[in-house]
Amino acid sequence: MTEIAVLTPAADDGTYGPHWPEVMERLAAALALADLTVRPLAWLDHVDDASLLLDFPLVLPLLTWGYHQHHTRWLQATQTWAQAGVRIANPASVLAWNSDKTYLRRFEAEGVAIPPTVWTQGVTDAEIAAAFDRFETDTLILKPTVSGGAWKTLKVARGEPVVDAPEGSAMIQPFLPDLARAGELSLLFFGGRLSHAVLKTAAPGDFRIQSQFGGRYQTVAEPPAAALALARQVLSVVEEDLLYARIDVVQHEGRWLLMEAELIEPDFYLSEAPDRGCLFAEGAAALVEDSAVASAA
């Protein structure tokens, strides 16, 4: 068995600390299929010094929950890891740019369809009022561009006072009724190959599809061809090699739109994968083998 590292929240983290070990167990079970064992390491302990991470043939950042709340440190960490040559997947460069949702503008410029969006530095009442008119809607979604798990994401109705609007870099989008009604489709890729797809729907009366808010998940045996085509288009824009990717899309007025490309610490929904994560494990094992070859050269 070969030991690899999985980056996690801090050991004393009160928000994520009680939960990540459960996900770690699922990841470890999948990786064991390829004779890989895991050692958890808190990512905040390796922001300025990557020497310990260099001892591993592969480092996976799959449990770096809460990085959005320490974004400056996160960017410093990714720079440290890149400069030190840490064998991390996905690459440190991806971990940096994918941590800010303004990356959606890059995809849009390459022809990828995304929801209509106003990008702003600090949400103002005037911008909100203008967005209602611009999008011809009575409901908006406000969220920081650096976020995770619907953190500080607001659903605002026309005429409703806005409390705790996102500060700093933010995005304003029209609320998509199709998202609440039909759900969001996640397509999971490992080594560029489609593994499985999961439909996520919000609990009645909510708009958030995350499980902590009551969201429900269901396997989709054959994802729609147009949704799969959009996901592959997204992957074609990424220049770096990816071990894993979760592409979240939604159908709106007959057209599939990219909501997010999750390339840092996405839930893989391995319990929904037909092979229970074997394809993921094979990809990780291939990177470990490449690391061994490079070290021997």
Pick the closest to residue 188 from 282, 262, 293, 122 (CA basis): 262
Would 2-99+276-296 and 103-113+179-263 be classified into the same CATH topology? no
Which neighbouring-strand residues pair with 260?
248
Comparing 14 with 108, the larger pLDDT belongs to: 108
In the chain, where are the structural domains located? 2-99+276-296, 103-113+179-263, 118-175
Q: What is the CATH number assigned to the segment(s) 2-99+276-296?
A: 3.40.50.2300
| 164: three-class secondary structure by DSSP | coil
What is the predicted pLDDT for the residue at 166?
Answer: 79
Cα dihedral sign, 224-226-229-230: negative
pTM of this prediction exceeds 0.85: yes
**Residue type for position 55:** D
pLDDT in tens, 54-112: 999 999 999 999 899 899 999 999 999 999 999 999 999 999 999 999 999 999 999 99
Output b/e per residue, 80-113; b: 16+ Cβ within 10 A: bbbeeebbbbbbbebbbebbbbebbeebeeeebe
| 94: three-class secondary structure by DSSP | helix
What is the predicted pLDDT for the residue at 72?
Answer: 96
- Whether 212 shows a pLDDT value over 70: the answer reads no
pLDDT in tens, 142-188: 999 998 776 678 888 998 888 877 788 999 999 887 777 778 999 99
What is the predicted pLDDT for the residue at 215?
Answer: 60
- Whether 13 shows a pLDDT value over 90: the answer reads no
**Overall fold of domain 103-113+179-263:** D-amino Acid Aminotransferase; Chain A, domain 1 (3.30.470)
How does residue 203 score in pLDDT terms, banded at 50, 70 and 90?
A: low
